Each structure stands twice: as structure tokens, then as C-alpha cells.
Structure 1
């Protein structure tokens, strides 16, 4: 990882816990928006239709909330960040490959429908993995809790969008 990015990540991880959570969420949300805009604009430029996959249609909103906002972040942080990055730290002190591999696995298991969704999940996975890696270096950094909270916020936003669409508040 380039030295400037590494230094920035270390400074970022040294922030007080709640500042860290808010900046990770805000930063990953901005990156998410940029990636989504680039994907949609490039798809429109070549005339390709944007994917319209509604896999959640038959599932109730309460079940979606429980599984995606409460349960998934806890389990996925353990499976995609905590355990693999703990192993990665045992193998190397350099963060690049462990973070990239974990983000790739995170992406590959999130959006199988479209390459654009996988790119989006990969970028979010990079943020989650980097947050975990660098926060783990802080004394009492609580990287697991920090990433779970950020992941919950991301999924809460997605759930809120689904709720708004089903309620007819926003067009689908």
C-alpha cells in the first residue's frame, strides 16, 4: 500500500471511536455514490440497461430488517473481516493483500447478478476491511464493533430505500 494512503489510514484509525464510525460511514457512502453514478453513466453511455433485479420482493420488510440490518453485519464482519484479517496479520504485516483478498471475497458473495454490483461491493468491502485492519492496531480500537456499526448503517439505508419503494413514497 502506498505510504501516503497507509499514513492517512493510520491517522483515520486513531480518531475517537464514534468519529471513526461516522467518518468511515460517510466516506464509504460518498465512495458508494460515486461508484454507482459512474456505473450507471457508463451503462447508459453504451446503451446497456441497468440491472433490475428485485430478489427481495417475496420477503417481508420485518424479515429483511432482522436479517440484513441486525444479523448480517454481525456475521459478515466475523466471516469477511475479523477472521481473515486476523489470519492475514499473522502472515504479513503489510495490509494490501489481506485487505484486497477479503474485499474480493466480500464482493463475490454479495452481488452475483451483475459485475457493477460486485464492483460496488468490492469498494465497500475495501472500506470495511481497511477500517478493521487499521482500527485493530489501536489500543482498545474495537474494530469489530466499529465495522459492525458501519455495516449496519449501510444496510439500514438499503432497507429504508426498500421500505420507501414498497410504501410508494419513491418510484421503483
Structure 2
């Protein structure tokens, strides 16, 4: 199924940014897609995804090059909440922001975040070192270089191309040819 470009999609680095946020709210389903672009390229997958959705689900989405829209993203924990409309999302996020700003001391919020991060994430240093190890292995391997060259050629350094717009379907072609 082909689709038109959407500025609301978050893939690759955009998705990594979202995954690093404390809370993720999405509008529209199936109008918004999330994906990790390095999944079919052998680039190690997402740094944070397995912490959010679990190891098995991370394998499902990363190894099978699967896109996810708002409702399934909410169901598995990729997004905290999925809203039907932008106004309902904005209203909820504004209410949360006001509650945090007005009700709780900043030091309490900081300590709560530190406690949650300490028990739910690997130390940042370990995450960065693991990601760097994967990248070094890939760029030094001939097959990794060949796939990167195919990717660059297929995208022509553009984002509105079939590969990026229909990633889950198109990436399979890299391995068929």
C-alpha cells in the first residue's frame, strides 16, 4: 500500500528524538507513522525502543521493518497517549504542563525523573558506547558499506522518496536485488 508523504511521521532520528522524551503524545491514527529507519539497514535499531516496549516488541518492529501508527503505538508503550484530534491532545498536554508547573516543586520533579531513569534505563554512557560499537562494526564491514551505498542512492539525500515514505515495504527490496 503506497502512501503520500506526511510531515507528521517520525522515522530514524526523528523517532529517536521522540523516544528520548519523557512523555510522547500522538494525534491521529492511522495518519501518523513511527518507524526506526535503521532496522532494515542492520544499524542496531533504536537506543530507547526496547526499554519502552520490551525486547520482543522491539524485535517485532525493528527486524520486520514495521511501521506503527498512533493506536498500536499507545497500546505497546511507544506513545503514552494517542488522541483523535489535535485540540484534545493540546488540551491534555497543556493541563499536564500546568499541573507540573503549579503543583509540584521543581526539585521533586527532578528527583522523580532521576529515580525513574535509574531503574528503567541503562546509563547514558553505556547506551552511547553500545551504539558506537554497532556503527563501527557496520561501517567496517563490506556488507554494511554496500547497504549504506544502496540507501544513499535510493534516497538521493531526499526525504520524500518511495524508500522513506513506504519504508517497511521498500527496504525489503534492498535484500531482494
Greater share of residues in helix: 1
Q: Determine which structure has greater relative contact order: mean sequence separation of CA pairs < 8 Å that are 6+ residues apart, divided by chain length.
A: 1
Greater share of residues in strand: 2
TM-score by length of 2: 0.24
TM-score by length of 1: 0.24
